[in-house]
Amino acid sequence: MKAGYIFIIFLVVAAVQIVVPTQMILNREEVLNTGAVYKFKTRPVDPADPFRGKYIALDFEADSYKTTNASWDRKEAIFIYLDIDSLGFAEIYKVSKDILPGLDKDYVKAKVDWYADYNGELNIEYPFNRFYMEESKAYEAEVAVRENQRDSLLNDVYAIVYVKAGESVLKDVIINGMPIKDYVEKEVENN
């Protein structure tokens, strides 16, 4: 009898271990297939962190919002409503602690990084600030991102992010019109 209960528990645990990751993958694919596409301009990041490992840390130009509301708590969940600027890049339309019914704008769930009283800026932590790559290419990719951001052209490096109903998926990082993986391979071949 005891073996029967253990087997049933085993089956339930195994099913959960299959269903949960599968649901996460399906949700991500749903956002990629039907979500709106936004280009987020990136900014240089500190390259000296030895713990980055297999990903590129991204910082975005659209990561702060001017507001007179000073009641923001660090790591508080917030909703970032998006618009597109004249150059085709994502910009913040509005920030709210709650979903705003009737506002016909795409939004992303994010977190408060901090609020600066001295200038009234709310700094935002996006959930898509890491781009994972093959370990052997991650360092070269980060160097490529940093070097291209120092270039005088403003639109050289940006992230492609799909957004749907608050969910967001970072699909790629583009350097000089080329996906970062292809750009790094080209740079390695040329050197």
Residue range(s) defining the domain that contains residue 7: 1-34
pLDDT value at 109 more than 90:
yes
- Digit-coded pLDDT (tens) for 159-176: 999 999 999 999 998 888
Nearest to 141 by CA among 127, 159, 128, 155: 159
- Digit-coded pLDDT (tens) for 34-81: 888 898 888 655 444 455 556 777 889 999 999 988 899 999 999 999
Claim to verify: residue 67 and residue 158 sit in the same structural domain: yes
Claim to verify: residue 7 and residue 97 sit in the same structural domain: no
Claim to verify: residue 5 and residue 80 sit in the same structural domain: no
Claim to verify: residue 83 and residue 17 sit in the same structural domain: no
Claim to verify: residue 99 and residue 129 sit in the same structural domain: yes
Claim to verify: residue 1 and residue 49 sit in the same structural domain: no
Count of structural domains, the chain? 2
Amino acid at 68: T
Claim to verify: residue 117 and residue 85 sit in the same structural domain: yes
Paired tokens of 165: 């109903």
